Amino acid sequence: MSTESAQSQACCNTPAVVSKGYSPKGDYIQVDGLKTYATGPKDAKQGILVVYDIFGFFNQTLQGADILAHTDKDHPYQVFIPDFFEGEPADISWYPPDNEEKGKKLGEFFKTKAAPPKTLPRIPKIVDELSKSKGIEQWAIVGYCWGGKIVNLSSKEGTKFKAAAACHPAMVAADDAPGVTIPYIMLPSGDEPKEDVEAWEKGLNVPHVVEWFPDQVHGWMAARGDLEQEKVKKEYERGYKLVLDFFHKHM
């Protein structure tokens, strides 16, 4: 259930999505000492910070950043994906963690590499550095899976962001919701616990949209999206359109 429609007059239409062998449009820069994918018109005054999933720079995620950067002709964005794991992301073969070995490896990764307190303090520094060097005046934030948790925790009082999006978020917790201070769109997959998302939504006090994708797997808008499947490709496109329309309305 949503409190408002994500549709806007922008009518953002995502470009043709490449199912295999995608060639990213952007390049890599250094930001706060991190290798960072950068895409979008360099004169755009609005920026989007993307917090990837635990699998890092996958083509599906880079293509998503390019879609966010170039699709809304009225609101072009400079989009950035910092490499918070510094070249050592999780191995996608660990997911789903359907045996003890995979579970152990994922657990260790979350403990050593993906603990939110390690990432959260870097985000304001990255935004400040990019605002100064790239001339960006307003920011939104998008996160996938693990990145969805980082987005939620980055949307509290004093945040530098005007709007937020969490796609198939991990670790959804009801007690994170009351502190959210900016418009927020969440796109859960069929793998997210319904009761957790519903409890989180009840605690929100901001304009928001929760749009379920019940026939998609956790990760379909990022590294785990099998874009060679027509249904996945279609829902991948729809997800990015919803995010863009929401940002167009709230930035």
Would you say 181 and 155 are in contact if contact means Cβ atoms under 8 Å apart? yes
Local structure of residue 91 (DSSP, 8 states): P
pLDDT 10s digits, 153-212:
999 999 999 999 999 999 999 999 999 999 999 999 999 999 999 999 999 999 999 999
Supply the pTM of this predicted model.
0.93
Q: What is the CA radius of gyration of the chain?
A: 17
Residue 39 structure tokens: 């895409």
Q: For the domain bounded by 27-250, which CATH number is listed?
A: 3.40.50.1820
Give residue limits of the domains in the chain: 27-250
**pLDDT of 4-62, one tens digit each?**
544 444 455 666 789 889 999 999 999 999 999 999 999 999 999 999 999 999 999 99
Q: What are phi and psi of 77, to 5 degrees?
A: -130, 145
